[in-house]
Structure 1
Amino acid sequence: MEDPESFEALQLRHRKEQRDLVARTMQKKKSANKKTRKGVNDECDRLEHELKERQARELAVLMAEDVEEVPADQEEELDVKSEAQTEDIENVVEALSISGSQPDDSIQQPQNTKKKQNRAKARLARRAAEQEALVAQAKAEAAALPDPREQERTRMREQFSKHGLQEKEIRADGHCLYAAVADQMETAGLGLKPRIQPQIVNGEETKIAPYKTVRYAAADFIEHNPDDFVGFMEEPLDAYLQKIRDTGEWGGHMELMALAKTYGIKINVLHGDGQVDKIESGEAKEDDQEKEIWLGYYRHSHGLGEHYNSLRKTKTP
């Protein structure tokens, strides 16, 4: 049989387990994308809860001092009995020390004896304090780890200066890619080439959001050039096009390819590490340099996951 684990060894193991869990959860959250982030966060919360419960049980077993485990609803009753028995013994010992003889009915029990501290409750309080200290230490160690969001923001700012760009923040929703492209096209005076017929409501045309026009432009190009795109889809073409046109489904590289071709522009996507994805239109023109737009791609800086911002030119780098 293995020797029982000492209190110090248990504390060391618990700290290591908490550090390991912090590292695992941080890695899981870093590698999550916008579609898996909620599931990853739920899994990390579950793992932290399970570890905390298991460690609390182990600590309770070690500190129980060989007392048999009892149902939770009986613990308070046993603690009261244990306290009473302890006080009776101590009172008798005190009486013996005074009388120097065996206790009998003639011995008057001391009155107003100071109530002794409830040892079981003291143990529980000590365990809780130690557990809180372990949790606080784990949080402090996690806080000391690099913040991927702040790191990404800092690197992006450095790239803005290098390329002569100024960021235009786009709302972080499922339309961010299309809204960023619309902002770039309008800022550069390139036009959006509307493909949606405005609806007439009460004799007036309804205003179509620019991002919606860009969504339809991407969907129309994919619909008319299916052979270039269906091989990358995990669902039927009609269902995919419906998501682009009528929902808040995120856009990605495939939609950027469609937009570059339908608008005849070059799309530059800047990453925090300095990488620039250049998505060409495939149409070589003399004014290619003028017909290009810039987007900023973020992986960690927004709650929903992947995000695109519009990057406007400020000067020639």
Structure 2
Amino acid sequence: MMEELFSKQREEHKQLQSSIASLRRQAKEGNKKQKKQVQQKIADMEADLSQRHAQERTDLERTEEPEEGNEQDDLVATLLKQMESTDLDKPKKSPENSKSEAVDQPKETKKSRNRQKERLERRKAEMQQLSERAETEHADTVDKQKVEKDELSKILSNSGLVAVDIIPDGHCLFASISHQLNYHFNIKLNYHQLRDRAANYIFKHGDEYSGFLLDEDTGEVMSVEQYCNEIRTTGKWGGDIEIQALSNDVQVPIYVYNTNGPIIKFEPQEAKHTTPVCIAYYQHLYGLGAHYNSLVYNNK
């Protein structure tokens, strides 16, 4: 089972590297903003695969550990049965034959027992190594979450802002902007409506976005029509493309606070509202991947 898992994970890693290579080729042809989006997509894909592989190894360790104990018990029972059969059922042999059997039989039993013991010990060592690796990866993830949370909290505090938690359900970008539009301008558009508006804008300006609309799972470029359909009808994660589309459509600046650098500012082609919509981007804080929260003024 462990060998099969290693083989599967190696193949998935190869597939990921192929997808990443494709993304990097696409990034070379894009502008600065699009290149940054592709790099973020690559980082998210690598993190997701690493976490999933670690969980798979941990799950396999839990399911296989009892089997090893059973195999050892079965081996002991088999050896005892063989010994009983030898003592009680077989006819007595000449002293010469008995001596030969007495010499040969223990060697076979001892050899079989040693092979089983070595195999079990080797498996136990492999599982221990995988367990330690999984714990290390988990600790690294926890550290990244804490560092990101502390750094972003400091950035927001210095700007007089505080985060409003948005449910991490795949709609967080649209839900965050929905909360901001209502908070600043009393514009009531729920995340379903914002998904529609983003998809409609991208579809209408398809020539500008063609070649940069990526499949979340494969990293391959999608057609404008297919991409927009997924934005409308599924929980497809939203990113820079959707933020810029909504900024242009609603005619409002959208500022994204993050720990990777300065505030990312998306300016509309024509501004109806000058007060920026402010949201926070988290790369590590939530276990499901990238996440957005709404930001409001800290009145304390």
TM-score relative to the length of structure 2: 0.57
Structure 1 263/250 Cα, relative in aligned 2: closer, same or farther at 3 Å?
same
Q: State the match for 1:295 in structure 2.
A: 279
Residues 54 and 134, structure 2, Cα contact 8 Å, conserved in 1 = no
Superposition map of 1:77-88 within 5 A = 77=77, 79-80=79-80
Give CA-to-partner distance per residue, 1:8-35, whole Å, 9 cap, x none: xxxxxxxxxxxxxxxx9xxx9xx76379
Residues 32 and 40, structure 1, Cα contact 8 Å, conserved in 2 = no
In 1, distance between residues paired with 2:46 and 2:200? 25
Structure 1 unaligned segments of length 5 or more: list them.
1-23, 58-70, 85-118, 195-209
Residues 251 and 270, structure 2, Cα contact 8 Å, conserved in 1 = yes
Q: What is the identity, as a one-letter code, of the residue corresponding to 2:52?
A: N
Superposition map of 1:1-317 within 5 A = 33=44, 37=48, 41-42=52-53, 45-46=56-57, 49=60, 75-77=75-77, 79-80=79-80, 145-147=139-141, 148-189=144-185, 191-192=187-188, 210-233=190-213, 234-283=221-270, 288=274, 291-314=275-298
The alpha-carbon deviation at position 218 of structure 1 amounts to 1.0
Structure 1 277/130 Cα, relative in aligned 2: closer, same or farther at 3 Å?
same
> Quick check: which one's helix share is greater?
2
Whose radius of gyration is greater, 1 or 2?
Answer: 1
Identity %: 28
The alpha-carbon deviation at position 300 of structure 1 amounts to 1.6
Give CA-to-partner distance per residue, 1:240-290, whole Å, 9 cap, x none: 2221222221111111110111111111111134532111113368x73xx
In 2, distance between residues paired with 1:219 and 1:134? 49
Q: State the match for 1:7 in structure 2.
A: none
Residues 254 and 266, structure 2, Cα contact 8 Å, conserved in 1 = yes
The alpha-carbon deviation at position 36 of structure 1 amounts to 7.7
Give CA-to-partner distance per residue, 1:49-102, whole Å, 9 cap, x none: 59x98xxx9xxxxxxxxxxxxx97972246437998xxxxxxxxxxxxxxxxxx
Q: What is the identity, as a one-letter code, of the residue corresponding to 2:158?
A: K
Give CA-to-partner distance per residue, 1:87-135, whole Å, 9 cap, x none: xxxxxxxxxxxxxxxxxxxxxxxxxxxxxxxx999xx999989987997
The alpha-carbon deviation at position 177 of structure 1 amounts to 0.6
- For these two proteins, the number of residue pairs brought into alignment is 227
In 2, distance between residues paired with 1:78 and 1:188? 76
Q: State the match for 1:96 in structure 2.
A: none
Residues 160 and 297, structure 2, Cα contact 8 Å, conserved in 1 = yes
Residues 256 and 279, structure 2, Cα contact 8 Å, conserved in 1 = yes
Q: What is the identity, as a one-letter code, of the residue corresponding to 2:148?
A: E
Q: State the match for 2:95 in structure 1.
A: none
In 2, distance between residues paired with 1:34 and 1:175? 18
In 2, distance between residues paired with 1:134 and 1:247? 41
Note the aligned Cα RMSD (angstroms).
4.8
Structure 1 74/178 Cα, relative in aligned 2: closer, same or farther at 3 Å?
closer
The alpha-carbon deviation at position 37 of structure 1 amounts to 2.7
In 1, distance between residues paired with 2:223 and 2:279? 29
Structure 1 141/231 Cα, relative in aligned 2: closer, same or farther at 3 Å?
closer
Structure 2 unaligned segments of length 5 or more: list them.
1-12, 18-41, 85-109, 214-220
In 2, distance between residues paired with 1:39 and 1:235? 25
Q: What is the identity, as a one-letter code, of the residue corresponding to 1:293?
A: V
